[in-house]
Structure 1
Amino acid sequence: MPRAHVLRPALAAALVVAGLTVIAPTGAARAAQATPTAPGAPAQAAESAPTGFAAVDALGQNGTTGGAGGPTVTVTTTAQFLDYIARSGPYVIQVSGTITLPTGTSDGMHDVTSDKTIVGLGANARLVGGGLNIGVPVDDDVTSPPANAVHNVIIRNVAITGATDDLINVQMFSHHVWIDHNDLSNGDDGAVDIKRGSDYVTVSWNRFYDHDKTTLVGHDDDNAAQDTGRLRVTYHHNFFDASDQRNPRVRFSPLVHVYNNYYDDNSYGIASTMDSGLWVEGNYFYSVNNPGRVDFSGDLGRMVQRDNILVDCNHAIEVRGSVPDPRTYYPYTADPASTVPTVVPAGAGVGKI
Structure 2
Amino acid sequence: MRTERCQGRAIGSAVALIGCTALVLSLTGAAQAAGPLDPGRRTLAAGDGWASEGAGTTGGAAADAAHVHTVTTWAEFKAALAPGDGAPRIIKVVGTLDATGGGCEAFEAQGYDFDRYLADYDPAVWGYETPVSGPQEDLRAASAANQGKGVKAYVPADTTIVGVGRNAGITGGSLQVQNVDNVIIRNLTLESPLDCFPQWDPTDGATGAWNSEYDAMVVYGSRHVWVDHNTFTDGRHPDSTLPSHFGEIYQQHDGELDVVRGADHVTVSWNVFADHDKTLMIGNSDSAAATDAGRLRVTLHHNLFKGVVERAPRVRFGQVDAYNNHFVVERGQSYAYSFGIGMDSRLYAERNAFTLPSGVGAGRILKKWKEAPLTAVGNHVNGRAVDLIAAHNAENPQTPLRSGAGWTPALRTRVDDARAVPGIVGSRAGAGKVC
Once the two structures are TM-superposed, the CA of residue 166 in structure 1 deviates from its matched residue by: 0.1
Pair 1:36-2:32 in alignment: no
Pair 1:170-2:219 in alignment: yes
- Give the structure, 1 or 2, with the largest relative contact order (CA under 8 Å, sep 6 or more): 1
Once the two structures are TM-superposed, the CA of residue 317 in structure 1 deviates from its matched residue by: 1.5
Unaligned runs of at least 5 residues, structure 2: 1-8, 21-38, 101-106, 108-145, 195-213, 235-251, 330-334, 390-401
Residue in 2 that maps onto 1:52: 49
Count, aligned residues: 295
Aligned equivalents of 1:240 and 1:44: distance in 2? 26
Once the two structures are TM-superposed, the CA of residue 305 in structure 1 deviates from its matched residue by: 1.4
Aligned equivalents of 2:316 and 2:412: distance in 1? 24
Pair 1:242-2:318 in alignment: no
Pair 1:272-2:338 in alignment: no
Contact 1:37 1:335 (8 Å CA) reproduced? no
Aligned equivalents of 1:206 and 1:213: distance in 2? 16
What is the SS of the residue equivalent to 1:247? coil
What is the correspondence of 1:107-146 to structure 2 with a 5 Å cutoff?
108-135=151-178
Q: 1:131 to 1:43 in 2, by over 3 A?
A: farther
Once the two structures are TM-superposed, the CA of residue 35 in structure 1 deviates from its matched residue by: 4.5
Q: 1:202 to 1:301 in 2, by over 3 A?
A: same
What is the correspondence of 1:283-298 to structure 2 with a 5 Å cutoff?
283-287=352-356, 289=361, 290=363, 292-293=365-366, 296-297=368-369
Residue in 2 that maps onto 1:204: 269
What is the SS of the residue equivalent to 2:368? coil
Pair 1:322-2:405 in alignment: yes
Residue in 1 that maps onto 2:130: none
Q: Identity across aligned pairs (percent)?
A: 39
Q: 1:163 to 1:275 in 2, by over 3 A?
A: same
What is the SS of the residue equivalent to 2:407? coil
Aligned equivalents of 1:213 and 1:262: distance in 2? 17
Contact 1:205 1:348 (8 Å CA) reproduced? yes
- Counterpart code for 2:186: R
Contact 1:270 1:291 (8 Å CA) reproduced? no
Contact 1:42 1:344 (8 Å CA) reproduced? no
Q: 1:42 to 1:308 in 2, by over 3 A?
A: farther
**Greater shift after overlay, 90-99 or 63-72?**
63-72
- Counterpart code for 1:64: T
Question: RMSD over aligned Cα, in angstroms?
Answer: 2.7
What is the SS of the residue equivalent to 1:80? helix
Q: 1:338 to 1:234 in 2, by over 3 A?
A: same
Pair 1:64-2:64 in alignment: no
Q: 1:123 to 1:74 in 2, by over 3 A?
A: same
1:72-126, CA deviations, whole angstroms, 9 ceiling, x for partnerless residues? 2211112110011233331110000011124744263221111111100001001
Once the two structures are TM-superposed, the CA of residue 162 in structure 1 deviates from its matched residue by: 3.2
Q: 1:207 to 1:129 in 2, by over 3 A?
A: same
Contact 1:109 1:166 (8 Å CA) reproduced? no
Aligned equivalents of 1:303 and 1:113: distance in 2? 34
Q: 1:235 to 1:206 in 2, by over 3 A?
A: same
Q: 1:181 to 1:331 in 2, by over 3 A?
A: closer
Residue in 2 that maps onto 1:24: none
Q: Which TM-score applies when normalising by structure 2?
A: 0.63
Q: 1:352 to 1:76 in 2, by over 3 A?
A: same
What is the SS of the residue equivalent to 1:155? strand
Once the two structures are TM-superposed, the CA of residue 316 in structure 1 deviates from its matched residue by: 5.3
**Greater shift after overlay, 78-87 or 257-266?**
78-87
Once the two structures are TM-superposed, the CA of residue 350 in structure 1 deviates from its matched residue by: 1.0
What is the SS of the residue equivalent to 1:268? coil
What is the SS of the residue equivalent to 1:122? coil
- Counterpart code for 1:303: L
Pair 1:179-2:227 in alignment: yes
Once the two structures are TM-superposed, the CA of residue 199 in structure 1 deviates from its matched residue by: 0.1
- Counterpart code for 2:99: L
Once the two structures are TM-superposed, the CA of residue 188 in structure 1 deviates from its matched residue by: 1.0
Aligned equivalents of 2:56 and 2:364: distance in 1? 31
1:295-346, CA deviations, whole angstroms, 9 ceiling, x for partnerless residues? 622x212211121101299x9512523331111xx24331111110100010
Q: Which TM-score applies when normalising by structure 1?
A: 0.77
Q: 1:291 to 1:343 in 2, by over 3 A?
A: farther
Q: Larger radius of gyration, structure 1 or 2?
A: 2
Higher helix residue share: 2
- Counterpart code for 2:52: A
Aligned equivalents of 1:326 and 1:268: distance in 2? 24
Q: 1:52 to 1:278 in 2, by over 3 A?
A: same
